Amino acid sequence: MRRPLAVLAALVVAACTSPSPVPSAPGPSSVATSASSPSPTPTPPPTASPEPTATPEPTAPPPTVIQLIGSKLMVAMDGTTPSAALLKRIRQGKIGGVILFDKNLTTEAALIALTRQLQAAATAGGQPRLLISTDQEGGSVKRLPWAPPTLSPPQMGQAGSVTTAWQQGELTGAALLRDGINLDLGPVADVPISTSSFMYQQGRTWSFSAATTTSMADAFAGGLLDGGGVAAMKHFPGLGYALRNTDLNVVTITATKAQLDAGLDPYRGMGLGTASSGPGLGMVMLSNAWYTAYDRANAAGWSHAIGTTLLRDEIGFNGITITDSLNGIGEAMGVPAKTLAIKAAAAGTDMILLTGPEASTSAAYTALVAALNDGTIPRSVLEASYDRILALRLALAG
């Protein structure tokens, strides 16, 4: 049996300190005996036990092609109830979010049943919670007539109360979440330069003042967070100079960087939400306009110079970017929405909003997969987007 180290140490100390007896005068026989006796073998020091090797943490497998492409897509549904094909795509992970319009809504009870059905499909497929969105800005754009906000952006901007804007946002976020909607595609943060701005004419802006717009939009977005929702501030880098509807027209804004700078203030002041920090100020919608000061070749939704260099590198935003709907602008350009979706994905835009028929959004998924496989879209770009999207979806309330 192996001796304890303490016992062995005591024995070694005793062997080194005990006095030797005084020998008597040796006789011939004793001299011979002494000369032939071997010296005692010293006790070897104990061998230290090896340190246990730490077990490496298991690493998650890389995302699949389905995950990389599917998580990017926020799509519309055709009717008031989800089709079997749409639910199958959700179960398979081929959809990351659904946007709801007036055509999808009847009553609040029906909406709750609908959103539960959508989330149940995601759960059945082992997918993270689905992003379910709508446009609940207040005033002229308010998909849920029974839900807050009870004041429009122009009304709140005229009142000038940050507290009121925050409370309206909080009530809105809570009401949407009760109905199963976890993402509000708002608030609008565009600063109109005149009454000719189409956003002003639609009654969707807070004020002609960049400072007022910043404080109101940021407060409303913060209220949405407190209410348990996610805010998608829009339309970066600003539609204040746009005189025509960018959902229906090709609009090029020729203002200088200095002229456009005030329109960036709401994004500078919004707290720079991050996808990993959980729901809240974690999403920015990119506009469908062209800005010659930043990128003459591409609209913001598929511009690396705007969505990455300006928004991420210069302003410091770390959350999720999403295109505005690519269907209307695609029609105005005479280009299929799936072609613009590929350009947006390659530019690094995280999510792609497609509001066409379900069959067309399924075709866009197929086109994006092909673009990944042939190298048009770098896998590394998709993986960076996937990580941000997944972090937000895992943090969703409800």
Tens of pLDDT, residues 169-216: 999 999 999 999 999 999 999 999 999 999 999 999 999 999 999 999
pLDDT of residue 20: 37
pLDDT digits (tens, 9 = 90+) for 291-325: 999 999 999 999 999 999 999 999 999 999 999 99
Q: Which of 82-91, 175-184, 269-278, 336-345 has the lowest mean pLDDT?
A: 269-278
Task: Please work out, in degrees rounded to the nearest 5, the angle formed at the alpha carbon of residue 30 by the alpha carbons of 29 and 33.
Answer: 90
pLDDT of residue 60: 77
The residue type at 45: P
Tokens read off for 89? 């795509």
Q: In sequence order, which residues have a C-beta less than 8 Å from that of residue 25 and are 6 or more positions away?
A: none
Residue 187: is the preceding peptide bond cis (ω within 30°)? yes
pLDDT of residue 282: 85
pLDDT higher than 50, residue 52:
yes
Q: What is the mean pLDDT of residues 333-361?
A: 98
In angstroms, what CA-CA distances link 27 with 23, 24, 370?
11, 9, 103
pLDDT of residue 137: 98
Gap between the Cα atoms of 157 and 161, Å rounded:
8
pLDDT of residue 46: 56
3-state secondary structure of 191: coil
Q: What is the mean pLDDT of residues 155-163?
A: 97
Number of H helices, E strands in the chain: 16, 13
The residue type at 281: L
Tokens read off for 64? 């699949």
pLDDT of residue 281: 63
pLDDT of residue 290: 98
Tokens read off for 234? 């829009």
Percent of the chain with pLDDT over 70: 82
Torsion of CA 157, 160, 162, 165, to 10 degrees: -40
Mean pLDDT, all residues of the chain? 88
pLDDT higher than 70, residue 392:
yes
397: confidence class by pLDDT, cuts 50, 70, 90: confident
pLDDT higher than 60, residue 109:
yes
Gap between the Cα atoms of 309 and 360, Å rounded:
31
β-pair partners for 188: 234
